[in-house]
Chain A
Amino acid sequence: MSRGQGPTTTGRAVLFALPAVFPVVAVLGVSLAAAVLQSLGLMPFIGPPSFSVEAWTGNTGELVRATGLSLNIAATATVLSVCIGFLIAAYVLASPRMGWIVGALSAATIPIPHLIGAGAIGLLLSDSGFLERVLGMPAAFPALVGGPWWIAAITEYAWKESAFVALVVLGSIARSVGDLCDAAATLGATARQRVFRVVLPLAMPSLAVSALIVFVYTLGSYEPVWLLGPTSPEPLPVRAVRLFGSVDLTARPEAMASALVSVAVGAGVILIGILVVRRSREFR
């Protein structure tokens, strides 16, 4: 079954592709086109259509601030997820018995939805939450939930996504890394050297790809930032959903503009990510 054996095989492959490609193109196309039209006032929920760029130009400062905040949260969460995820993967590979427990526990958190994860982190980190009680209710306990640094929301992303990163890394290198680590150990490499000189370079491609996925997911994720962040300033998803659900139906175009900005930023990040991954020699 090789690639493109002839016109018949290619024709059949096109028939295979259609049922998968058509729904994606239809849903994405209709959704993005409708969002653009709504942001320009050409497809109003009620009333006659009237062209306006007010949703894009009316409150540019807030839109830019929301974009910056979303990028910040996503970048911090991605860096933490990748570092902790790699540590989990390296630990699972380095210690057979305890590593198995860590790997199984970490994988068990993956099916937990982000909304439940956000609730759990809220119970843990909020004022007089579990952590503050364990620490003996110190007076100087910082505002982690709803505080200015988005710590609870970023922790939730890092908690959920580090398990995802570990799973991807383990899945991609578990088979090949054993022999190489054994060889390095025979040649006298210490555990630290094996982790940073053998496991890390092998894991780089899967780390890069999972970092890209985590970043884009975090950028467009709504529940944790809505539940655990302060009410102001708002990241893009929270702003878009708030305006979308507003009783004022004229806020819809602004909601669509926020949604489209997050789509554009996500697509831009993916394009840059793919280019960077392709350019660097390590990933070839």
Chain B
Amino acid sequence: MRVIAGLLLVLWIVLPVVPVLLWSVAVQWAAPAVLPPSYSLQSFSALAATDTVRAAGASSLLGVGVATVATPLGYLGALAIQRLPRVPARLVELTLLAPLAIPPFALVMGINVAFLRFYLLPSVGVVLVLAVTALPYTAFMFRSALATYDSRFEEVARSLRNLVANGPPCPGAPARWCNRPGILPRVPGGLGRLHRHAAYRRGAVADASHAAGVRCVGYRE
């Protein structure tokens, strides 16, 4: 039963592709024949034709252009949604989703005359419209990626930077790195403040590393 269900699903997925594949290698394939009488790869020579290569180049360039615009913008949008207060975040979210609700043909038909009146370069206009239709996807891909991102990583990264700058607060570190009462904290003015600040930051490093479950992995000698 389960095998039959699986085969039916495979048939559903694969069947529409079969005639396309067969037609691509068929020489002639008249009506009652279930399979082409003879096969050839000749139709694939069309792939090397100048027109096809030029069209493929133009499509690739367009794809790269749109991805180059829409990916960083989507990332920024996702960051904004995560960091803004709830109501503005919701507004940004809805705005970035809005292109999904508008049929592409309606978007293009409306903007056609407007772009002509703005004397916008056709290639720029096409990339702009396609980037706007791609933004919902890039923004929400980044959004779901950021949702699983633990902000403690950032704290740990910050702490590790401090660790390199200030030395480790971990047990076993050389005594001169530890936050012990010494002469410097008692020095009035800038130098003492600096030391107290460094000691404070070392404490923060320990807390953050502990919170993220990171153990001290090495010391600066």
List the interface of chain A (C-beta within 8 A of B). Answer: 1-5, 9-10, 12-14, 16-17, 19-21, 23-25, 27-28, 30-35, 38, 43, 45, 84, 87-88, 91, 94-95, 98-99, 101-102, 105-106, 109, 116-117, 119-121, 123-124, 128-131, 133-134, 137, 156, 159, 162-163, 191, 213, 216-217, 219-222, 237, 240-241, 244, 255-256, 259-260, 262-263, 266-267, 270
Contact = CB atoms under 8 A, between A and B. Distances in A.
Contacts of A94: 2
27 contacts: A3-B89, A17-B77, A20-B74, A20-B77, A25-B95, A30-B111, A31-B102, A31-B106, A31-B111, A31-B114, A32-B110, A91-B5, A91-B6, A98-B2, A123-B20, A131-B15, A133-B31, A156-B16, A191-B2, A216-B101, A217-B100, A220-B105, A222-B104, A240-B109, A259-B105, A259-B109, A263-B103
B18 interface: yes
Contact of A10 (B22, B76, B84, B131): B84
Contacts of B98: 24, 28
A191 B13 CA distance: 23
A217 B19 CA distance: 26
Given A220-B104, A266-B103, A1 B10 contact: no
A1 B82 contact: yes
Nearest to A133: B34
Contacts of B151: 1-2
B175 interface: no
A2 B31 CA distance: 65
A124 B107 contact: no
B171 to A, nearest CB: 30
B103 A237 contact: yes
Nearest to A135: B34
B102 A263 contact: yes
A266 B101 contact: yes
Given A120-B17, A120-B20, A20 B96 contact: yes
Interface string B2-16: 110110011011111
B131 to A, nearest CB: 7
- Chain B's interface size range is 35 or more
B143 to A, nearest CB: 11
B12 A159 contact: yes
Contacts, number: 211
Task: Tell me the dominant secondary structure on chain A's binding face.
Answer: helix
Given A241-B109, A263-B101, 17 more contacts: A3-B82, A4-B85, A10-B85, A16-B79, A19-B73, A20-B92, A23-B131, A31-B108, A45-B113, A91-B6, A105-B13, A106-B13, A156-B16, A163-B13, A259-B103, A259-B106, A263-B103
Contact of A137 (B10, B13, B32): B32
A95 B19 contact: no
Nearest to B87: A4
**Top 6 A-B pairs, shortest CB-CB distance:** A220-B103, A20-B77, A35-B110, A17-B80, A259-B106, A31-B110
B139 interface: yes
Contact of A20 (B3, B9, B76, B114): B76
A20 B139 contact: yes
Given A13-B80, A31-B114, A244 B109 contact: yes
A3 B84 contact: yes
A259 B109 CA distance: 8
Interface centre among A5, A24, A162, A240 (most CB of B within 10 A): A24
Nearest to B5: A91
B205 interface: no
Contacts of B129: 27
Nearest to B104: A220
Interface in B140-195: 151, 154
Nearest to A70: B103
B86 interface: yes
B132 interface: yes
Interface centre among A25, A28, A124, A266 (most CB of B within 10 A): A28
Nearest to B23: A123
A27 B115 CA distance: 10
A181 B3 CA distance: 20
